[in-house]
Amino acid sequence: MSLLERRRTPRRTLLAALVVAAVAGCASPAPVPGPVPTSSTCVPFTRPTTVEQLDSVVTAYRSVPSFRGGDVGADVVLSDGRGLWVFGDTLRGADFPGPRYVRNSMLLFSSSCITVVSSPSNGAVIPDRVDGVGYWPMSIGKVSREGYDLVAVMAQRVRGSGGGGHFENLGPAIAVFRVDRGGQPVLQRVTDLGPDSIDRRRPTWGAAVWVADDGFAYIYGTSNPEQHLVFGFALSVARTKPEDVEHPETWDYWDGRTWQHDATRAEPVIAAQGGVSQTLSVFERDGRWWVVSKRDEFLGHDLVVWSSRSPTGPFPAPDPVAQIPSDLTRHLVRYMPLAHPDLLPTPGHVIVSVSQNSDDPALLAADPVLYRPRFFQIALPAG
């Protein structure tokens, strides 16, 4: 599996800056009435073979009413070779027969077609809870079965807290889809992990997830100590078997020395001071583990790649590999870089997307394409 906080940050128009919440504990299912079928609209395209073509598809390709723009863009490659992408707060066209804004959406990429996946109600693909709490995707992965994949989307529970675009994150959740070979995703269930809580000091598990060569799923969580001038997030790690990701009672947590069963004893593998963004990427390649993130969240400028021989670190503080500052003079906010190790793979390099948004509602209304990730390639630091 590869699958933000609002703290002195520019306002995210029609969506919101993510405010971290974190919780571990027992799982409780959200009310989803059985498997939910989906429909789709196919938009022909030519599969990109270069980073420039990839970025062109995202920034210049025509929209359909069901998808004008969105952030996040976490992806997984299905067993049939298609790419499945999940997005956060998503804008739709004025002529779309449903909500103009939803908290999550999904696209399927085949060799010649972009498929916009829609729910029967034309709402979010992971539907809001009955109390209005919605789900922001963080990471995505799959477990292959005979004839189909089970796809897990790690998400955050989010609710509005008054006007002005303010939101609260209440903790993580897992949405599970079944995708038959060549078929459409079918939502099976949504499981909330732990009770609703806005305590940012406990890890939000699922900020990044990766199924390793050793057969374990490593589940990374981010937390903020709520200390003055600490804008980054600490990174902690748990592990379990891939088929048990939905069951936190099976997870073990790294306490700095060993794996153990008590979530409260989890120790960060990267500290919050100068730390990662709330949502990030962790992946394994060529015997090394790579953590890709923007240092110090929205207020930071540095795209950073931490590296270790182990999923538990140590992860020494690295030099930045690129600069991705926000540009408030142009009303542009850049945040949440995510790595895509299966996309246009090149030895020693990885494709990275950076979410982009505007704090000016008029700019987004005039040009929703502003609200789409941008792609580029970075060199992985020498080990």
Domains, the chain, ordered by start: 27-379 (2.115.10)
What integer pLDDT is reported at residue 36 of this predicted model?
Answer: 63
- Look at residue 24 in the predicted model and tell me its pLDDT: 34
Q: What is the pLDDT, as a whole number, of residue 37? A: 58
The residues pairing with 149 across neighbouring beta strands, listed in sequence order, are: 144, 179
pLDDT of 22? 26
User: Can you say whether residue 164 is alpha, beta or left, with left for phi > 0 and alpha for psi between -120 and 50 degrees?
Assistant: left
d(CA 222, CA 247): 19
**pLDDT, tens digit (0-9, with 9 covering 90-100), for 303-334:** 999 999 999 999 998 999 999 988 888 888 89
Across the chain, which has 383 residues, the per-10-residue mean pLDDT values are 30 28 38 56 84 84 83 95 95 89 93 88 94 96 93 94 70 96 94 94 95 95 94 97 93 98 97 95 96 90 96 94 89 92 94 92 84 93 79
Q: For the residues of 205-229, what is the DSSP string, one character each?
A: EEEEEEE-TTSPEEEEEEE----TT
CA-nearest of 355, 294, 357, 361 to 322 is 294
Farthest-apart Cα atoms in the chain, separation: 56
Structure tokens at 27: 């799982």
User: What span, in angstroms and rounded, lies between the C-alpha atoms of 274 and 268?
Assistant: 13
| CA dist., res. 274 & res. 300, Å (int) | 9
Q: Distance (Å, rounded) from C-alpha 170 to C-alpha 158?
A: 6
For residue 319, the 8-state DSSP code is P
| Residue 34: predicted pLDDT | 54
Which among 159, 151, 164, 147 is positioned nearest to 125, based on CA atoms? 151
Tell me if the bond preceding 225 is cis, omega within 30° of 0: no
Q: What is the DSSP letter of 44?
A: E
Task: Select from 297, 294, 270 the least CA-distant residue to 352.
Answer: 294
User: pLDDT (tens digit, 9 = 90+) per residue, 232-252?
Assistant: 999 999 999 998 999 999 999
Share of the chain above pLDDT 90, in %: 65
Rounded to 5 degrees, φ, ψ at 367 are -145, 85
The per-residue pLDDT for 55 is 86
Q: Which residues pair with 272 in a beta bridge?
A: none
Nearest to 140 by CA among 339, 285, 2, 284: 2
For 204-226, the pLDDT digits (tens) are 999 999 999 999 999 999 999 99
Distance CA 235, CA 253 (A): 12
Q: Give the C-alpha separation, 200 to 376, whole Å.
A: 31
DSSP state of 37: -
Rounded CA Rg of the chain: 19
pLDDT in tens, 6-22: 232 332 332 332 222 22
Amino acid of residue 87: F
pLDDT at 26: 39
pTM over 0.85: yes
Residue 284 CA to residue 60 CA, distance in Å, equals 32
